[in-house]
Structure 1
């Protein structure tokens, strides 16, 4: 029990009966949720964690083969939930963590009350004309090569575009610092597991209530990808926010929290 909680640097806050588990995306850690957490502490038990290889997790537990695909990260999440001995959790996943949560909910639906996905993508690579994920294969191969050569340089050059909040330049700097804190080799591998993933076939297997939160303009996930997920997860809800960028939990933490709380209120009735 202790080993897994330490391995994934699990943090438990709040005393509510309903458990919310927040999963961070690529290049980040549980700190990415810092500005949103206060909106949930009064009424929820909040669980934060770092995937192995990210944040303050046990880096010695990182295994290249296990984390070659998103299923390895899903195993992390499954083990955390088993140790916490809780059921009917509401999982809030950002970016790639959305698919990690989705895979875990398919494997163990009895542990999930709902699935909330912020900026999710079932496949980042285009499969035209049937599917538009936003990147062609050449784009992704070039991205991985750049990250392999100079992850820190990539982070510095792209943080502002990923944040897309020119009126709040401090947020781009904050995101850049978040990337810089991560292990560049592990992050390059995590990027490969993320950008080469294809979980379109898994969408129809989801059986828990699902909310998709999408920003109006996102350089990582086009609106078409959000609609694709919405159309293929039964009874899912799509909420498009006016905010731009891939990190609404940083640029609009209160508004993003209110969208989540409104959805939770409706499903818990």
Structure 2
């Protein structure tokens, strides 16, 4: 039995007036506030569940356990815990970046709870695996990025944030950098390793949930070919590509993606 402390542990907030439920899962280095530009378009049609993974945002730092959160399964369990605490069923899980995959893991474990998946700029694997898959990064590049977290944490944040936000979100790069810097370095490094070195490609064909992929035309972390790979390897997935430069469509193009998300979640 999960205690009511789950709400405090994950800083759970419920907003909106609809009967259908959306659970919004933030990406690495972020928190639930990153959804604030998208939620106004959703409040009338949905009940919206916001939360922070343990180690992020306003979550309870005392709940962090290295063994649990060194893999994506631990973050997926946070999603399941929140849904169980609120007694949710038949929800659409909207995941940004790595949360597309944590959402997938959660959906496979709790298919009656998570019945649809919306993936914002997803990647099942950031590592290149030639000749059949290009994730965008060589292992030494990602190891260097993780190493920079130890050597110069602020420098790491200032390097990664503009890469993630892209030209479309240039004005919000400082916000993301500040979000990185506000996270305990131990928590951030643990989540970073789980994010950048995970490989969820084998899970894609196992999901039966209808899935909607939101893809930027220019994304330094997840190219269009990655979105196409996900779509082609899932049983029931569609992809919508938006003219955008960056990895955060929910922040840079919230009004553009909202109609498609609403239509998908309501049908």
Contact 1:152 1:184 in 2 (8 A): no
Matched, 1:244 2:211: no
What residue is the counterpart of 1:88 in the other structure? Answer: 90
Runs of 4+ in structure 1 displaced over 4 angstroms? none
The CA deviation at 1:150 is: 2.1
What residue is the counterpart of 2:191 in the other structure? Answer: 190
What residue is the counterpart of 1:5 in the other structure? Answer: 7
Contact 1:13 1:41 in 2 (8 A): yes
The CA deviation at 1:74 is: 0.7
Q: Pick from 152, 155, 163 the counterpart of residue 154 of structure 2.
A: 152
Instruction: Provide the aligned C-alpha RMSD in A.
Output: 1.2
TM-score by length of 1: 0.95
CA–CA distance in 2 between the matches of 1:144 and 1:187?
A: 10
What residue is the counterpart of 2:78 in the other structure? Answer: 76
What residue is the counterpart of 2:202 in the other structure? Answer: 201
Matched, 1:29 2:31: yes
What residue is the counterpart of 1:174 in the other structure? Answer: 175
What residue is the counterpart of 1:19 in the other structure? Answer: 21
The CA deviation at 1:177 is: 1.9
What are the equivalent positions in structure 2 for 1:41-120 lying under 5 Å apart?
A: 41-120=43-122
Contact 2:107 2:115 in 1 (8 A): no
CA–CA distance in 1 between the matches of 2:162 and 2:136?
A: 18
CA–CA distance in 1 between the matches of 2:4 and 2:151?
A: 37
* Structure 1 SS opposite 2:80: helix
The CA deviation at 1:2 is: 1.8
Contact 1:204 1:233 in 2 (8 A): yes
TM-score by length of 2: 0.96
* Structure 2 SS opposite 1:76: helix
Contact 1:151 1:188 in 2 (8 A): no
**Structure 2: which 5+ runs fail to align?**
none
The CA deviation at 1:254 is: 1.1
The CA deviation at 1:185 is: 1.9
**Structure 1: which 5+ runs fail to align?**
none
What residue is the counterpart of 2:166 in the other structure? Answer: 164
* Structure 1 SS opposite 2:259: helix
* Structure 2 SS opposite 1:110: coil
Contact 1:148 1:185 in 2 (8 A): no
**Aligned residue pairs, count:** 265
The CA deviation at 1:175 is: 1.8
The CA deviation at 1:149 is: 2.0
